């Protein structure tokens, strides 16, 4: 397991806060309230370890395939339905949405290889990520990857806790399947918009792994 580069600053700040809190508690209360010192130590240690785990990148054998669409994120499938996309396609699309809790790995990956033909950031609200309106009203970042005649839109969506979306792609860039697309800090969701008629390989409430689980076959 490694730590994602997006976490270096957050972990450094968290470590300094952890040290400052426990130094102050020990200085003022070690003699009179030793039990309190231990309680605060373990609580702050748990928070620090959780912060570190949030930015983890576990070692995995990633899945690739020319006709496969790979899960762009870890989490639970919360939506499989036809929608009318008004951002890019202006037509019906088959949407698969993966909800990421704060405990999930939060690196996002390219579901297919291809060329980036669209990249757009949208300001918005911070509704809870499982709210259906979050796809169109929340802060989000959309990219479209084109492979041959197939275009797939991947939408990173901020949630009630997620306050920062990071996207690494640029229009004109050639990307490879399962390589990093971006990162969302502190829980959210990712929508994948597929051509209508695409064979879906997952079910509602199924837990998927980013870069590993095949969510659809083209």
State mean pLDDT over 147-151: 94
- Which CATH number do you get for residue 104? 2.70.70
Integer angstrom CA distances of residue 150 from 111, 145, 184, 198:
12, 8, 26, 11
> Which tokens is 147 given?
């492979």
134, 135, 142, 188: the catalytic one is 188
The residue whose two tokens read 């008629």 is 197
| Beta-strand relationship, 68-70 and 75-85 | unpaired
Residue 181 domain-assigned?
yes
Beta bridge partners of 167: 182
Confidence of residue 53 (pLDDT cuts 50, 70, 90): confident
Which pLDDT value is given to residue 137? 66
Confidence of residue 152 (pLDDT cuts 50, 70, 90): very high
132 and 210 belong to one structural domain: yes
Which residue blocks in the chain are alpha helix, DSSP H?
A: 8-29, 34-54, 134-137
Told to judge if 53 belongs to the known catalytic residues of this protein, a careful annotator would answer no
123 and 100 belong to one structural domain: yes
- pTM for this structure? 0.85
- pLDDT tens-digit map of 100-119: 988 888 899 999 999 999 99
Domain assignment of residue 201, given as a range: 68-217
Could you give the number of structural domains in the chain? 2
78 and 47 belong to one structural domain: no
Confidence of residue 131 (pLDDT cuts 50, 70, 90): low
State mean pLDDT over 12-29: 93
17 and 73 belong to one structural domain: no
φ and ψ at 49, to 5 degrees? -65, -35
State mean pLDDT over 122-138: 66
- pLDDT tens-digit map of 58-108: 889 999 999 999 999 999 999 999 999 999 999 999 999 999 988 888 899
């Amino acid at each position: 397991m490694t730590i994602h580069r997006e976490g270096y600053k957050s972990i450094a700040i968290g470590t300094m806060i952890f040290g400052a809190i426990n130094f102050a508690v020990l200085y003022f209360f070690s003699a009179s309230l030793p039990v309190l010192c231990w309680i605060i130590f373990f609580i702050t240690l748990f928070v620090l370890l959780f912060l570190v785990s949030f930015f983890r990148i576990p070692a995995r054998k990633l899945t690739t395939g020319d006709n496969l669409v790979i899960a762009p994120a870890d989490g639970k499938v919360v939506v499989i339905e036809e929608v009318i996309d008004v951002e890019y396609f202006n037509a019906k699309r088959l949407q698969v949405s993966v909800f990421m809790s704060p405990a999930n790995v939060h690196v996002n990956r390219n579901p297919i290889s291809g060329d980036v033909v669209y990249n757009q950031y949208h300001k918005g609200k911070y509704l809870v990520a499982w709210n259906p309106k979050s796809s169109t009203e929340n802060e989000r970042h959309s990219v479209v990857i084109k492979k041959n005649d197939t275009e797939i839109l991947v939408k990173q969506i901020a949630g009630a806790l997620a306050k920062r979306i990071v996207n690494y792609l640029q229009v004109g860039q050639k990307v490879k399947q399962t390589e990093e697309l971006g990162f969302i800090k502190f829980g959210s969701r990712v929508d994948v918009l597929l051509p209508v008629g695409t064979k879906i390989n997952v079910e509602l409430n199924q837990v998927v792994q980013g870069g590993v689980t095949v969510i659809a076959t083209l």
